[in-house]
């Protein structure tokens, strides 16, 4: 089996090449439509990027499984020793609107854990990456999560609905709240220390969080589901029950606020 750093090099090259496809559509009014069952928007750019990533990655690693937001899922990936987990464009709505914080995301799982991940923001030329034996990198330079320990005053990427009292029986934290459309980018901003935490209580698809969760962990953050449970990847149902990413002490404090006082 290939070393994680070798697989990471493949991912980094692939997301950057696929980014060239995305940029051909960006701010050029790409065709787009809504997926069935309130599945959110998809554009012709998503499909074109997905096709390029599939060719680049599966041609190089035909024995790996494939899980992508824009591909039909099947049980074959569950039997593969490793699996690509891909979001061709994370933040499609923002991409359609001409915003520059969309990302192209690719990771590789093995035995339920992530071993390599890359998140590329082509409009901003920002590459976040990590493998399971190395440090987290931003454009090739090591990054580290913040050392913030207390929820009150923490810089947190989340939406207003996540601050509803029903989510915080231990007391709503007084956060400095902001937002970015791409979930993967939000987690990477925690890895970089530009924000202290990222919170979502909504179910999160693996392709949105898999690569970035490894990057944040290798930067020293703790990344779990919204109840504090460990994340597992390439599962039959590729969703996590929310995500909280934060430095360990802050993470523990946030999880405590989500539980009723004893």
Quick: pLDDT tens for 166-189. 999 999 999 999 999 999 999 999
Do 132 and 213 have their domain in common? Answer: no
Q: Of 142, 166, 191, which closes a domain?
A: 142
> What are the backbone angles phi and psi of residue 182, rounded to the nearest 5°?
-80, 120
- Nearest CA-CA partner of 239 in 216, 214, 209: 209
Q: Of 101, 121, 142, which closes a domain?
A: 142
Alpha-carbon gap, residue 118 to 213, rounded angstroms? 10
Q: Would you give the distance in Å from CA 88 to the centre of its chain?
A: 12
pLDDT tens per residue, range 105-123: 999 999 999 999 999 999 9
Do 119 and 165 have their domain in common? Answer: no
Angle at 26 between CA 20 and CA 30, to 5 degrees: 115
- Nearest CA-CA partner of 33 in 100, 123, 96: 96
Do 80 and 108 have their domain in common? Answer: yes
Tell me the binding residues: 69, 87, 89-90, 208
pLDDT at 262 over 80: no
Query: Within a 10 A sphere around the Cβ of 126, how many other Cβ atoms?
Result: 17
pLDDT at 241 over 80: yes
Mean pLDDT, the chain, whole residue set: 97
Mention every residue, 6+ apart, whose C-beta is less than 8 A from residue 199. Answer: 156, 157, 158, 162, 226, 242, 243, 244, 254
Residue with tokens 């012709």: 44
Tell me the binding residues for Mg(2+): 69, 87, 89-90, 208
Query: Within a 10 A sphere around the Cβ of 187, how many other Cβ atoms?
Result: 35
Do 124 and 205 have their domain in common? Answer: no
Do 97 and 164 have their domain in common? Answer: no
Domain that holds residue 215: 155-258
> Residue 212 is part of a domain; what is its CATH number?
3.40.190.80
Average pLDDT score over residue span 219-241? 98
The predicted pLDDT at position 261 comes to 83
Average pLDDT score over residue span 64-76? 97
């Amino acid at each position: 089996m290939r070393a994680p750093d070798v697989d990471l090099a493949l991912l980094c090259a692939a997301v950057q090449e696929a980014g060239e496809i995305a940029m051909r559509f960006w701010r050029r009014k790409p065709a787009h439509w809504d997926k069935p069952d309130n599945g959110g928007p998809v554009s012709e750019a998503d499909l074109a990027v997905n096709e390029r990533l599939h060719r680049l990655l599966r041609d190089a690693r035909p024995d790996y499984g494939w899980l992508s937001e824009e591909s039909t899922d099947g049980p074959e990936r569950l039997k593969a020793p490793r699996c690509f987990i891909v979001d061709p464009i994370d933040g499609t709505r923002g991409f359609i609107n001409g915003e520059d914080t969309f990302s192209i995301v690719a990771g590789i799982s093995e035995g339920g854990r992530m071993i390599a991940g890359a998140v590329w923001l082509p409009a901003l030329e920002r590459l976040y990456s990590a493998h399971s034996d190395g440090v987290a990198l931003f454009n090739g330079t090591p990054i580290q999560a913040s050392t913030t320990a207390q929820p009150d005053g923490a810089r947190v990427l989340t939406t207003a609905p996540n601050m509803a009292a029903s989510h915080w029986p231990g007391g709503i934290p007084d956060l400095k709240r902001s937002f970015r459309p791409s979930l993967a980018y939000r987690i990477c901003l925690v890895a970089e220390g530009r924000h202290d935490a990222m919170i979502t209580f909504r179910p999160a698809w693996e392709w949105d969080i898999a690569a970035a969760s490894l990057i944040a962990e290798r930067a020293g953050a703790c990344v779990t589901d919204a109840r504090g449970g460990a994340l597992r990847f390439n599962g039959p149902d590729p969703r996590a029950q929310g995500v909280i990413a934060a430095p360990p002490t802050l993470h523990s404090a946030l999880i405590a606020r989500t539980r009723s006082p004893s």
